[in-house]
Each structure stands twice: as C-alpha cells, then as structure tokens.
Amino acid sequence: MGLVPWYMRVAHFVPPDVAHSLARYALSAPSPGPLIDEGLEVELAGLRLPNPIGLAAGYDKDGYLYPAFSRWGMGFYVVGSITAFRRRPLRRPRLYRPRDGLWMLNAFGLPSEGVISVARRLNGLGERPRVPIFASLAGFSLEEFSILIRAADALPQVSAIELNISCPLFDDPAGMEELAELSSSLTRKPSFIKLSPRHSRVLEEAAGIAEGHGLGITVYNTIPVRSGALGAGRGGMSGLPLYGMMLSAVARIRSVSDRVPLMAVGGIFTGSQALAALEAGADAVQSLTAVAFRGPLAFRAMSEELLAAMRERGYSSVSEARASRVSAVLRAPRGPRSATPPRAAIPGPPRGPA
C-alpha cells in the first residue's frame, strides 16, 4: 500500500476511535499550505474555489478543527453534519479500520453540539475564512431542517450548504421534493442534497428535483452495512468500495442534467481518481477516508497528483477536464486497487446491507 506513509501505518496500531481524537494534535504541526495554481481553480454553483478537492462532512462535525486543518491544502471544507439540537455519539467502537484495504466502517450516529454552539464557533472565525466553508446539515424533520437552513443562511462564514438525507443509520427524514422546496425558499446560498447509495434507483429523479429548485447534488454518503465490529451493530462503509458506485452515479446524473451542480465523494484517495470523477462530470470532489490513510498531507498530495494527471492528459485547467465529460464508467477505474473488496472482508456478523 504505497499510498500510506509510515507514520500512518504506525497510527493504525492505535484504536481508530483514539486515533481520530489524536488527529487534532497532529493538525497543529507546520503544514505545507495549499498548492496554488490557476489550473486547479474551479467554479461550483457560482462559487470560486481555489481547487476542486474538499474535505467531506464528518471529519470535523463541530468545526473545532477548522483553524488548524484548513491550512492543509483542501479547496473547501465541509463542517458537520450539524444537527438542530445537541446529540450524543453512539457507543464505541464507532470506527473500524481493516489492517489491509482502503476502507472503514463508522457509526457515530450524527453527534453534534447543536447548531447554536457550532454557529457561535464558526462566527468566531471572522468574516473571511481562509478556505470556503460548506455547512452539512442533518435534520430529523422538515422543521429541524428549517432551523438549520436559516442558521446557515445567516452565517457569513458559510459559503454553501449540504443537506444530509443520507446517514446510513437513519431513514430519510423528509421527501426530497419538500426539502428542495424548503431550501430554495429559505436561502440563496448554493445548496446540495447529499444522497446515499440507497438512493441509486432514484438518481435521475433526484437530479430533476434538484435542477428544478436550483439545488445541486452530492453523491455519495457511506454504504449502509451491518457489522459486529461497531458498537451500534450497523453503520456506513466508506472508502474504495464506494468509488465505482460514485463514478457511475456521477455519469448517470450527468446523462440527464448537464447543469445541476454536482459534487462527487466516495473512495477518492488520489489525484487521478479525482480527475476521473471530474471527467465523469463532477464540478468538485470531496474526500474523507483518504485522510485516515494518507494523513493530513492527503489534500496537498492529491492536488499535486491532480495537476500532474491533468498535464499528462493535456488539460490546462480543471474546467477543460470537466468539459471532456468522458464517461468514466466506460473506463477502468484508475484507483490504487480494485473498486470492491470481498464481502467477507466486512468484519463481524451479521453482514449485508442494513
């Protein structure tokens, strides 16, 4: 596994829940900063981003890490998911990381300090945060979404909103159409509905709803799984198993809508994988599990790899790559390994989709 630096291999001997908590100390180390290159700049739903690779929701749920982690080279930073009221995490273990294989299981259960507390923290960052902040919002009803959207709309630090209706542990809290309608009536900030692989049968419909209400889409959240390795007995799988599903979702959405703003997330560990998602039609990409394997340098490394992969393919800018709209489903994924791990690799009975 050449992608994983030695210190992250050592970190893998620490229980993953503890490693996750220790990460905040590592992030205060000197960082190399972002890779500045005009070719990496993108426009997403009217926002200008310095590069198209962002941190996905879930790493920094309450915004504590932003001051340190935003120096490590991501093009945008998703805080959350933020809930309307304070929620406690589920019982440990909440994370499972295999010794071999680029994937993880998690079951945190959407813990959050609640929107008032997180909004106060984001407000303390000043009017112009270093890296654009996207707020991931998770409501359990339309009323809660309404509280959350109003709060995110009022915060000048929040550039965009992601509506999480795809937590693997909970059923959809609201119809997509109603939520899209609510969101477009409450905010003019770019807003995205984040879908789960369980929405794969309604992707085209979702694209239509999003486009009709001026929203974008993020695909995908984690794959719902059952596993005895998690305290909750079930949770979500992230990492490489999602990569092929995500590419095919991006291509399907782009086949019905050329205009809907689209973010791709799931199993992106390298710049070449990011490029494949952009070529498939994503406007930007996000990554999270890569940080658990490659460490905090993941974003800087992926930006360098993306630039190198773009040059190799003759693109002078990300928009040129996106314009190519080559269906990535027709190509072999250029990931570091095959897209799907053996099912037997999922630890602990019972197994299978939740």
Ligand X SMILES: Cc1cc2nc3c(=O)[nH]c(=O)nc-3n(C[C@H](O)[C@H](O)[C@H](O)COP(=O)(O)O)c2cc1C
Chain residues in the site for ligand X (CB under 6 A): 56-58, 61, 80-81, 104, 106, 108, 110, 136, 164, 194, 221-222, 238-239, 242, 265-268, 287-290
What's the N-to-C CA distance of the chain in angstroms? 30
Q: How far is the CB of 316 from ligand X (least distance, A)?
A: 27
Q: How far is the CB of 127 from ligand X (least distance, A)?
A: 26
Q: Which is nearer to ligand X, 115 or 290 (CB)?
A: 290
- Within 10 angstroms of residue 276's Cβ, the number of other Cβ atoms is 27
Measuring CA to CA, which residue among 216, 217, 142 is closest to residue 186? 142
SS (H, E, C) 272-334: HHHHHHHHHCCCEEEECHHHHHHCCCHHHHHHHHHHHHHHHCCCCCHHHHHHHCCCHHHCCCC
Asked if 221 and 195 count as a contact pair (C-beta separation under 8 A), the reply is yes
Measuring CA to CA, which residue among 246, 249, 265 is closest to residue 257? 249
Q: How far is the CB of 269 from ligand X (least distance, A)?
A: 8
CB neighbour class for 4 (10 Å; exposed up to 12, middle 13-18, buried from 19): middle
Q: How far is the CB of 226 from ligand X (least distance, A)?
A: 17
Q: Which is nearer to ligand X, 234 or 320 (CB)?
A: 234
Query: Measured between alpha carbons, how far is 43 from 25 in angstroms, rounded to an integer?
Result: 33
Asked if 251 and 217 count as a contact pair (C-beta separation under 8 A), the reply is no
Measuring CA to CA, which residue among 313, 303, 302 is closest to residue 279? 313
Q: Which is nearer to ligand X, 58 or 75 (CB)?
A: 58
Q: Which is nearer to ligand X, 34 or 335 (CB)?
A: 335
Q: How far is the CB of 38 from ligand X (least distance, A)?
A: 26
Question: H helices of 60-196, where?
Answer: 66-69, 115-123, 142-154, 176-186
Q: How far is the CB of 104 from ligand X (least distance, A)?
A: 5
Query: Measured between alpha carbons, how far is 176 from 217 in angstroms, rounded to an integer?
Result: 11
Q: Which is nearer to ligand X, 91 or 311 (CB)?
A: 91
Q: Which is nearer to ligand X, 261 or 266 (CB)?
A: 266
Q: How far is the CB of 298 from ligand X (least distance, A)?
A: 10
Backbone angles phi, psi at 147, to 5 degrees: -60, -45
Q: Which is nearer to ligand X, 218 or 257 (CB)?
A: 218
Q: How far is the CB of 330 from ligand X (least distance, A)?
A: 22
The residue with tokens 């507390």 is 117
Query: What separation in angstroms does the CA of 246 have from each of 112, 214, 225, 262?
Result: 27, 22, 17, 11
Q: Which is nearer to ligand X, 126 or 347 (CB)?
A: 347
